[in-house]
């Protein structure tokens, strides 16, 4: 089998092995209801299933309430235009359709199954899909050749009362239109003035030029070229779909049409655009060479004749990939969530404009990780969001849903769009709901001044920017102002517009006060005044903690450039412990929120320390709005087998019994007893009223290993460890933490300080 491209980064056998092992194919089905008991089986099938059957028989729309229809999309093809490979038959399309189903689930949590139809006759195809269409909440048509695809989509949309969307047309149109909006933004060109040439008048090309007209491109400024030349008014042998875009133009070839053009859209074949054509274009040309697997012209060839071009392709190994995965998952997510009857023109425009707006935002670190650390920022090499941007799931669908509501095709309007965004975040990020609650409390509380100690680091600067932009408080960056501003500018952030606060420890008006105060604190611990002066001048952790201690700030976040233990020692020289200090990690898995302690402070806690850890963890969980149920975990179960560590846990229980604490606790026990009340039949004396949500570990190694193991296996999201118990709120992130991790820590710091003030 021949390689598909000269830049392919895997072998043909690699691709076959990926699809073959460990299980053939890329999708499977997972039940959403338990099948553990006879009652479960009776409810899921006979006789319980008869009840929703009768309800749906009386009202077909009840299928949305009692079945998976509302989150189910069919990916349907007859294989007549598979990728760039042509008509290879319906079964040859199955790997592509499975792949589409996987992308629906991965990027938008939409359940999807593939359907391959064995016919090339459009009428037959329409009849098949019409008769099975009510099964789904939407239909994604795929890899159907032009012009039949136009007829099939149009007729099915008329016949069915659900969205029918041909992604090869509209997906490419949406993404390329978003890219065009931003390319014009960068070059200073206006949509209504640009001259656009389309090379390739197939389904994707015609849909793209149509959508671009909808956002402002003038019809008279467009020229369409197919394999026979320019599509001009009066030309013979032009079908109705091409004729709709024909213009009065003297040009008859692609080369003629591209002279002085601002934009060329390539949706044809490798080599269709030459260097000479590119050289003839207007200043700052916009070139979207989107043929797959090889573009009409490579970025290397464009760069050899033009240094002012903005380039996009359909390939992931070049910048600005026009990737349909940026469109179809979020179009359907928004459409399904309002039970839209169709995906109309306005919904596509809304999606394109939202994608363009998102690309202009600061790019999260998660995206850089997906691109091996390459930093991306809005500009000529980044005009389209990355498919790995975690914000897509909650940023794009609300615009689509709103457009559906505004145009009257939504059957279930969304009343609270902010709540909808929160719900969307939670679909792929288990921590989203918790963080939304914490962030809401921080915004509602009096404004907190948060010190970002390592203020010269680009990640910290971006985190402080994001923190303020989200209106979570007032960030204070510690460092040299010139360097902070330089790094901010390189990251594309305008500090003057945002009004960011910068403090240089060495020249601060509080320098002497902090030195005197800290010297009085440390003078009997072996420190000379000059030592303390050096610490305040040169170490931002000391200076930042002193700011918090002396009331010039409320809380602090640090740790990006130093390891946890070193930072904690520095902070502890400035701030006292109010209560027992612990590290508390938050573990979110399978719809559950668990709090794990102690994950960072006490290496081998004794019984008294274990009891104190439980008390501090329970108090913190209460502040986070949860009712604590504490389980002391162990390798042993209520004394069996016996051992030293188990005895320490049992002694901790006796200490809590004597203190009469106001929360549920039990131990010692293995995880299954803590988390599954049904597993407790042999232990009727257990005091927990439900599953435990606070897990106290017997030692730091078991706490750290267990949380990291679960996280590494992909079974959970872990936040923290959060530092709890200091007199003032300080959060220490991990070495090299991402922007989102720093913002999360700063938010918890502000929340903890607010809770402490109120209590």
The residues annotated as belonging to the active site are 45, 100
Token readout for 745 is 């820590």
Mind giving me the DSSP string for 284-340? S-EEEE--SSS-SS-HHHHHHH-SS-EEEES-TTSSSB--GGGTHHHHHHHHHHTTB
Q: Please give the Cα distance from 685 to 478 (Å, whole number).
A: 55
Residues paired with 289 in a beta bridge? 266, 313
Sequence-distant contacts of 751-757: CB under 8 A, at least 24 apart: 751/438, 751/441, 751/442, 751/445, 752/555, 752/623, 752/722, 752/724, 753/448, 753/554, 753/555, 753/728, 753/729, 754/441, 754/442, 754/445, 754/446, 754/448, 755/623, 756/729
Token readout for 749 is 């710091």
Decide: 183 and 382 in contact? Cβ < 8 Å: no
Angle formed by the axes of helices 94-108 and 392-406, nearest 10°: 90
How many angstroms separate the first and last alpha carbons of the chain?
A: 70
What would the 3-class secondary structure string for 435-479 be? HHHHHHHHHHCCCCEEEECCCCCHHHHHHHHHHHHCCCCEEEEEC
Give the three-class secondary structure for 199. strand
Decide: 93 and 141 in contact? Cβ < 8 Å: no
Give the helix ranges, DSSP H, for 558-666. Answer: 564-572, 607-623, 644-659
The residue count of the chain comes to 759
Phi, psi of 276 (to 5 degrees): -65, -40
Mind giving me the DSSP string for 112-171? EEEEE-----HHHHHHHHHHHGGGSSEEEE-S--TTHHHHHHHHHHHH-SS-EEEHHHHH
Decide: 591 and 632 in contact? Cβ < 8 Å: no
Q: Please give the Cα distance from 630 to 615 (Å, whole number).
A: 9
For residue 104, give the nearest of 134, 128, 74, 60 by alpha carbon.
Answer: 74
For residue 82, give the nearest of 16, 168, 153, 164 by alpha carbon.
Answer: 168
């Amino acid at each position: 089998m021949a390689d598909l491209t000269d830049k392919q980064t895997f072998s043909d056998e690699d691709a076959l092995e990926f699809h073959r092992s460990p299980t053939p194919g890329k999708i499977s089905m997972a039940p959403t209801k338990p099948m553990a008991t006879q009652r479960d089986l009776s409810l899921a099938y006979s006789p319980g299933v008869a009840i929703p059957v009768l309800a749906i028989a009386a009202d077909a729309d009840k299928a949305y309430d009692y079945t998976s229809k509302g989150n189910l999309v069919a990916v349907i093809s007859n294989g007549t235009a598979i990728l760039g490979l042509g008509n290879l038959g319906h079964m040859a399309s199955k790997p592509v359709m499975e792949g589409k189903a996987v992308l629906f689930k991965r990027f938008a949590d939409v359940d999807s199954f593939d359907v391959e139809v064995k016919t090339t006759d459009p009428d037959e195809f329409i009849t098949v899909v019409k008769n099975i269409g009510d099964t789904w909440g939407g239909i994604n048509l795929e890899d159907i050749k032009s012009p039949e695809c136009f007829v099939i989509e149009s007729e099915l949309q008329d016949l069915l009362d659900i969205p029918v969307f041909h992604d090869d047309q509209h997906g490419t149109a949406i993404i390329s239109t978003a890219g065009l909006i931003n390319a014009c933004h960068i070059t200073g060109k206006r949509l209504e003035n640009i001259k656009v040439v389309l090379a390739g008048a197939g389904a994707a090309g015609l849909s793209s030029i149509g959508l671009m007209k909808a956002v402002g491109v003038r019809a008279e400024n467009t020229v369409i070229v197919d394999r026979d030349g320019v599509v001009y008014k009066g030309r013979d042998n032009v079908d109705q779909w091409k004729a709709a875009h024909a213009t009065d133009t003297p040009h008859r070839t692609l080369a003629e049409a591209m002279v002085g053009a601002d934009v060329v859209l390539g949706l044809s074949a490798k080599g269709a655009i030459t260097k000479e054509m590119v050289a003839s274009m207007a200043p700052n040309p916009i070139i979207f060479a989107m043929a797959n697997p090889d573009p009409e012209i490579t970025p290397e060839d464009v760069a050899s004749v033009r240094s002012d071009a903005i380039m996009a392709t359909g390939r992931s190994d070049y910048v600005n990939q026009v990737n349909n995965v940026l469109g179809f998952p979020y179009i359907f997510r928004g459409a399904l969530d309002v039970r839209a009857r169709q995906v109309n023109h306005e919904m596509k425009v809304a999606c394109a404009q939202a994608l363009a707006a998102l690309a202009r935002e600061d790019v999260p670190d998660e995206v850089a990780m997906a691109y091996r650390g390459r930093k991306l920022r809005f500009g000529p090499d980044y005009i389209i969001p990355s498919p790995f941007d975690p914000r897509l799931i909650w940023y794009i669908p609300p615009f689509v849903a709103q457009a559906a509501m505004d145009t009257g095709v939504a059957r279930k309007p969304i009343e609270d769009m902010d709540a909808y965004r929160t719900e969307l975040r939670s679909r792929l990020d288990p921590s989203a709901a918790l963080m939304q609650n914490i962030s809401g409390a921080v915004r509602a509380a009096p404004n907190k001044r948060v010190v970002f100690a390592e203020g010269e680091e680009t990640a910290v600067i971006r985190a402080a920017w994001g923190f303020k932009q989200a209106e979570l408080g007032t960030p204070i960056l510690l460092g040299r102002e010139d360097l902070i501003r330089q790094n901010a500018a390189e990251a594309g952030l305008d500090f003057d517009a945002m009004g960011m606060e910068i403090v240089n420890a060495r020249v601060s008006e509080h320098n002497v006060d902090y030195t005197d105060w800290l010297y009085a604190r440390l003078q009997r611990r072996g420190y000379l005044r000059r030592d303390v002066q050096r610490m305040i001048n040169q170490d931002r952790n000391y200076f930042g903690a002193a700011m918090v201690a002396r009331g010039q700030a409320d809380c602090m976040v640090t740790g990006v450039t130093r390891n946890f233990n070193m930072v904690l020692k520095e902070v502890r020289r400035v701030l006292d412990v109010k209560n027992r200090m612990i590290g508390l990690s938050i573990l979110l898995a399978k719809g559950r929120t668990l709090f794990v302690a102690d994950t960072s402070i006490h290496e081998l806690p004794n019984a008294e320390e274990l009891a104190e850890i439980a008390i501090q963890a329970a108090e913190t969980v209460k502040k986070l709005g949860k009712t604590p149920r504490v389980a002391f975990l162990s390798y042993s179960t209520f004394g069996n087998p016996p051992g030293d560590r188990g005895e320490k846990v049992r002694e901790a229980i006796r200490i809590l019994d004597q203190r009469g604490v106001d929360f549920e606790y039990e131990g010692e026990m293995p995880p299954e007893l803590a988390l599954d009340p049904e597993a407790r039949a042999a232990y009727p004396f257990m005091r927990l009223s439900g599953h435990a949500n606070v897990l106290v570990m017997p030692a730091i190694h078991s706490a750290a290993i267990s949380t990291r193991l679960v996280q590494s296996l992909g079974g959970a999201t872990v936040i923290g460890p959060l530092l709890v118990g200091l007199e003032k709120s300080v959060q220490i992130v991990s070495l090299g933490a991402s922007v989102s991790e720093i913002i999360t820590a700063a938010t918890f710091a502000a929340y903890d300080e607010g809770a402490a003030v109120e209590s």
